[in-house]
Amino acid sequence: MAFVDTFGRIHDDLRLSITDRCNLRCAYCMPHEPVWYPHEAILSFEEITRVARLAIGEGVGKLRVTGGEPLVRRDVASLIGSLAALPGVTDLSLTTNGVLLEPLAGELRSAGLRRVNVSLDTLDRARFARMSGRDRLPEVLRGLAAAAAAGIGPIKINAVLLRGENEHEAVDLVRFGRDHGYEVRFIEFMPLENDRSWDLGRVVGGSEVRRAIAAVWPIVRDPAGDPHAPASRFLFEDGSGAVGFIDSVTAPFCAACSRIRLTSDDSLYRASPARTWLCGSTAASAPIGLAQCSKPVSPVPPSVPLSPSCASARRKWSELSDDQR
Ligand code: SF4
């Protein structure tokens, strides 16, 4: 059995959003005064585990726990334990902003968590507070160290670059990752439900970031890269790890998408690109995008429409002249 959608794509990767709530207010994601789902609308851990068990029966193997910020929900380790115990799970990971990771890392690892992606857009404390609305960078850095000490890994860092804010930090973030054994992935700024904050002029394209990094550390595309993975992976020629790029605006990859998403208020979506990597908040996932995918995966099914926000972002990008990109 397999989850095959109307475009013929096979979905074997289930994202479980366990809350819409978050302890940060990243300007590209969350309004300052968000309206949360009522508690009674949120799925219980038993219900989430049941959906995961049923999905595994349909061929899903990879489970990722996301949010909002999943660690703001009490006793996440018990859910991780239930999911890890499900027969047929091939991978169990978590996406978090890292603020609450330090005190929970050991418990999550003992419960069966294997991998973690931590969102970190800057190493500058004042800029972190400005971009996320909260002064919590020290906790995030301690959370990363605690996850490594607990044996959770590989540890990946998800970074969103905004032109005029932190685009000059790309090399510093990669250096930080290389020094600590974390794999950094750069996510292009995508239109989200906090749409009024999206501006094409603030998108830093993946190719621009690759040029900046390659000028310091030569990189080559990973020949073993997973064509269905959201990130295109590049290896450092000096052998010390890899760096990833999620070019949601400049090279959407919806045609190869293998993800489905369960929202915390009980909706099952085919994952829209942007939400997957920004801690996975899930509003507004719509029909999946069509893309001139940069990855050599199966032919693009012509009937896969781009979600409205993807279409507009893609159109605006394609209308730019080369020197504007
Ligand atoms: S991007 Fe992640 S950490 Fe930031 S506000 Fe959204 S859900 Fe929270």
Convert the pLDDT of each residue in 27-72 to its tens digit.
888 887 889 999 999 999 999 999 999 999 999 999 999 999 999 9
Displacement of CA 308 from its chain's centroid (Å): 20
Check pLDDT > 90 for residue 193: no
DSSP summary character for residue 308:
H
Over residues 191-220, the mean pLDDT reads 88
What CA–CA distance (Å, rounded) separates 225 from 42? 36
What residue ranges define each of the domains in the chain, with the CATH number in brackets? 3-318 (3.20.20.70)
Q: What is the mean pLDDT of residues 209-227?
A: 94
- Taking the CA of residue 28 as reference, the ligand 1 atom at the shortest distance is 1
CA-nearest residue, atom 6 of ligand 1 = 29
Greater confidence (302 vs 139) lies with 139
79-83, 98-102, 256-260, 304-308: which has the minimum mean pLDDT?
Answer: 304-308
pTM: 0.84
Atom of ligand 1 nearest to the CA of 68: 7
Cα 307 from chain centre: 18
More confident position, 2 or 28: 28
The whole-number pLDDT of residue 65 equals: 98
- Mean pLDDT, rounded, for 277-282: 39
Q: Which position has the higher pLDDT, 263 or 270? A: 263
Average pLDDT over residues 226-238: 89
Find the 29 Cα to ligand 1 centroid distance in Å. Answer: 6
Beta strands in the chain (DSSP E): 3-4, 10-11, 13-17, 62-66, 91-96, 115-119, 155-160, 183-187, 219-221, 232-236, 242-246, 259-262, 268-270
Distance 147 CA to ligand 1 centre (A): 19
Give the Å distance between the CA of 91 and the centre of ligand 1. 23
Output the CA–CA distances (angstroms, integers) from residue 235 to 47, 160, 215, 277, in the order listed. 40, 20, 14, 20
Q: Decide if pLDDT at 307 tops 90.
A: no
Mean pLDDT of the chain: 85
Residues with CB under 6 A from ligand 1: 22, 24-26, 29-30, 67-69, 97, 119, 278-279, 281
CA angle 192, 167, 236 (to 5 degrees): 105
Of the candidates 51, 55, 53, 65, the residue with the CA atom closest to the CA atom of residue 10: 55
Strands 155-160 and 115-119 turn out to be: parallel
| 110 pLDDT more than 90 | yes
Contact 97, 116 (CB under 8 A): no
Mean pLDDT of 114-134: 97
pLDDT of 101 over the 60 cut: yes
Q: Residue 93: which of 68, 62, 120 has the closest Cα? A: 62
Provide the pLDDT for residue 31: 81
pLDDT tier, 298 (very low <50, low <70, confident <90, very high otherwise): very low
DSSP-derived pairing of the beta strands 10-11 and 13-17: unpaired
pLDDT of residue 206: 96
Higher pLDDT, residue 212 or 227: 212
Q: What is the mean pLDDT of residues 216-236?
A: 91
Instruction: Supply the residue whose CA is at minimum distance from atom 2 of ligand 1.
Output: 279
Q: Residue 96: which pLDDT band, with cuts at 50, 70 and 90?
A: very high
Residues 285, 306: Cα–Cα separation, whole Å: 11
> What is d(CA 272, CA 166) in angstroms, rounded to the nearest whole number?
25
Q: How far is the CA of 25 from the centre of ligand 1 (A)?
A: 6
